[in-house]
C-alpha cells in the first residue's frame, strides 16, 4: 500500500510562533549581556536549530557566550510555556486542512527546529497531537537544511520520497526537501517571501491553506 506523507514545518507554517521566539531571544541576549537582536533577523532564522540561529544573530560573539545564550533562551522559552504566557496561534484554516488531509488518507508529520517538548506542547494545546504520526525535532537531528528529519520521517512511516511532500515557510524547509529528494511546497504566510521560496526550489507557494490543499493534490 502506498503511504502518502505530508510533512509540515511548525513555526510560520502551522502556527505563528514569532512573538514567543522574539521575546525569548530578547530576554536570553539580555541575560548574557548581548545587545538585543534585530527582530526582523530573528524572524528570518525561525526554523533553524537554536545553536545555528544564535550563531547567525551574534556571529561576533565567542562560542562560550553563544552557548550561554542558548541555555538562557531555552530557560526563558520554557518559563513562558510553563507560565502560560506563550502564545502560538494556529493560522486560520490549518485545522480544516489537517482534518481534510487526514480524511483523504494522508499520513501527517512535522519536521521542525523546535524542541520535542515544545512541539508536543504546541500540538496538544491545539488538540492536534493525534493527527501527526511522526514528529521530527531539533533534539534528535542536525539543523535544517540537513535532510535528516525528512529521512527519519520517511523511515518511520514507510513512505517513499516520491510520495512525500515537505511544506514550509522558509528556504531552510525547501532546501531540506531538495536534499532529501521529496517535493517542496512553500506557504506565503510565514517568515520568508514567496519569491525566496521559489528561488530555493519550491514547486509552488500557497496563498492560504485551501490553496495549499489543492497544491498537495
- Average pLDDT of the residues in 134-152: 96
Q: Which residues are catalytic?
A: 9, 11
pLDDT for 125 = 94
C-alpha to C-alpha distances, 110 to 29, 149, 155, 195, nearest whole angstrom: 28, 9, 14, 24
**pLDDT tens readout for residues 147-173:** 999 999 999 999 999 999 999 999 999
C-alpha to C-alpha distances, 199 to 113, 171, 192, nearest whole angstrom: 22, 9, 11
- Average pLDDT of the residues in 109-123: 94
pLDDT for 33 = 95
Whole-angstrom distance, CA of residue 108 vs CA of residue 7: 6
pLDDT for 86 = 87
Side-chain-side CA neighbours of 103 within 13 Å: the count stands at: 7
Compute the C-alpha angle 108/42/49, nearest 5°: 50
How many residues appear in the chain? Answer: 217
**pLDDT tens readout for residues 201-211:** 999 999 999 99
Mean pLDDT of the chain: 95
- 217 burial (CB, 10 Å; 0-12 / 13-18 / 19+) is exposed
pLDDT for 146 = 97
| Range scoring the smallest mean pLDDT among 76-85, 126-135, 181-190 | 76-85
- pLDDT band at residue 1 under the 50/70/90 scheme: confident
Cα-based torsion angle of the residue sequence 52, 57, 59, 61 in order, rounded to the nearest 10 degrees: -100
Partner residues linked to 168 by β-bridges: 186
pLDDT for 56 = 94
pLDDT for 178 = 98
pLDDT for 127 = 96
Share of the chain above pLDDT 90, in %: 91
Structural domains of the chain, ranges and CATH numbers in brackets: 5-16+88-216 (3.40.50.1000), 18-83 (1.10.150.240)
Yes or no: say if 47 and 11 are a contact pair by the CB < 8 Å rule: yes
Set of cell numbers at residue 35: 545587545
**pLDDT tens readout for residues 29-71:** 999 999 999 999 998 988 888 999 999 999 999 999 999 999 9
Does residue 84 have a pLDDT over 90?
no
pLDDT for 87 = 87
Whole-angstrom distance, CA of residue 134 vs CA of residue 43: 26
Q: Which of 194, 164, 11, 201 lies closest to 89, judged by CA?
A: 11
Amino acid at each position: 500500500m502506498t503511504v502518502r506523507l505530508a510533512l509540515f514545518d511548525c513555526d510560520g507554517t502551522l502556527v505563528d510562533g514569532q512573538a514567543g521566539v522574539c521575546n525569548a531571544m530578547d530576554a536570553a541576549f539580555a541575560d548574557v549581556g548581548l545587545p538585543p537582536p534585530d527582530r526582523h533577523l530573528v524572524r528570518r532564522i525561525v526554523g533553524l536549530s537554536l545553536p545555528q540561529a544564535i550563531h547567525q544573530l551574534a556571529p561576533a560573539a565567542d562560542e562560550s557566550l553563544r552557548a550561554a545564550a542558548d541555555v538562557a533562551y531555552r530557560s526563558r522559552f520554557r518559563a513562558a510555556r510553563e507560565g502560560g504566557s506563550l502564545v502560538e496561534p494556529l493560522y486560520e484554516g490549518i485545522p480544516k486542512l489537517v482534518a481534510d488531509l487526514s480524511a483523504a488518507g494522508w499520513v501527517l508529520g512535522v519536521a521542525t527546529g523546535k524542541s520535542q517538548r515544545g512541539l508536543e506542547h504546541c500540538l496538544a494545546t491545539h488538540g492536534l497531537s493525534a493527527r501527526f504520526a511522526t514528529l521530527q525535532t531539533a533534539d534528535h537531528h542536525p539543523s535544517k537544511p540537513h535532510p535528516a528529519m525528512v529521512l527519519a520521517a520517511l523511515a518511520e512511516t514507510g513512505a517513499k520520497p516520491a510520495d512525500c511532500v515537505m511544506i514550509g515557510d522558509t528556504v531552510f524547509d525547501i532546501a531540506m526537501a531538495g536534499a532529501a529528494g521529496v517535493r517542496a511546497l512553500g506557504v506565503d504566510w510565514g517568515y520568508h517571501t514567496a519569491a525566496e521560496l521559489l528561488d530555493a526550489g519550491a514547486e509552488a507557494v500557497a496563498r492560504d491553506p485551501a490553496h495549499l490543499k489543492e497544491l498537495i493534490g
